[in-house]
Amino acid sequence: MTKPRHFSMLRSFAAADFLTLANAACGMVAIFFCLKYAETGSAAYIWGAFGLFPLAFLFDMLDGWVARWRRKHSALGADLDSLADIVSFGVAPAVVGYTLGLDGVWDGVVLVFFVVCGIARLARFNVTAAEVAARGEKVPYYEGTPIPTSVFVILILAIAYGTGNVHGEIWGGTLQLGPWRFHPLVLLYGLSGSLMVSATLRIPRP
């Protein structure tokens, strides 16, 4: 039995995989910044979190471009991409929303729905892509919106934060539904999640 070489997993990565990992790192740091903002109240941290989403999106675009340019991808590439995306465009946006005041119980239900939809959407794409690839074809379209489109939700939250409409003055106000609070703004997450898992919305793949 051949003894594994040191760092054998890293040696198996293609160049594009390191860009994918950079995408995941951006999402994780954005979560850390949210925690520091909740602890300190310093606006620098939440603006830092906002700024990391476009960077994560850029890395997500570049990894595919580099893989095609170099005509090389690893066996782990597709799974790495999905796992990175759920961190940067699923969990991290939900944490930002919660940090900025979408923290009622009903808000939490919607945020969890958003993340679950992102996971389901990525799983469906991976299975579909594998089936199509087995026939020697390429996936011609996306079913539902790709999960990185959640950056538009982050953009709206950044505008809301920049205009002072957070923490008690969130756009749309606060409703009391039964024993728990609900912020209508959280429906942006609900809409984004619903569009991700839509089976009737088909977007041509570049």
Domain boundaries, the chain: 8-204
Residue 164: how many other CB atoms lie within 10 Å = 8
| Domain 8-204 fold | Four Helix Bundle (Hemerythrin (Met), subunit A) (1.20.120)
Is the pLDDT reported for residue 167 higher than 70?
no
Is the pLDDT reported for residue 201 higher than 90?
no
Q: What is the pLDDT of residue 188?
A: 95
Higher pLDDT, 31 or 170: 31
Is the pLDDT reported for residue 159 higher than 70?
yes
Is the pLDDT reported for residue 168 higher than 50?
no
* Tokens coding 193: 């999640």
Report how far residue 55's alpha carbon sits from residue 193's, in angstroms, rounded to the nearest whole number: 22
Is the pLDDT reported for residue 164 higher than 50?
yes
% pLDDT > 70, the chain: 77
Report how far residue 120's alpha carbon sits from residue 104's, in angstroms, rounded to the nearest whole number: 24
Helices assigned H by DSSP within 71-186:
77-86, 92-99, 105-134, 151-162
pLDDT digits (tens, 9 = 90+) for 111-121: 999 999 999 99
Report how far residue 32's alpha carbon sits from residue 193's, in angstroms, rounded to the nearest whole number: 23
Q: What is the pLDDT of residue 8?
A: 53
Higher pLDDT, 79 or 10: 79
Q: What is the pLDDT of residue 155?
A: 95
Instruction: Let me know: does 126 contact 94? Beta carbons within 8 Å.
Output: no
Report how far residue 22's alpha carbon sits from residue 3's, in angstroms, rounded to the nearest whole number: 30
Angle at 98 between CA 180 and CA 28, to 5 degrees: 150
Return the SS3 of 142: strand
pLDDT digits (tens, 9 = 90+) for 23-75: 999 999 999 999 999 999 899 999 999 999 999 999 998 877 776 655 655 55
Report how far residue 182's alpha carbon sits from residue 172's, in angstroms, rounded to the nearest whole number: 10
* Tokens coding 139: 């996936």
What are residue 202's DSSP bridge partners?
143
Per mean pLDDT, which of 74-83, 113-122, 156-165 is the most reliable? 113-122
Helices assigned H by DSSP within the chain:
8-11, 15-40, 43-70, 77-86, 92-99, 105-134, 151-162, 187-196
Nearest to 54 by CA among 204, 141, 130, 155: 155
Q: State the average pLDDT for the chain.
A: 83
Q: What is the mean pLDDT of residues 132-152?
A: 76
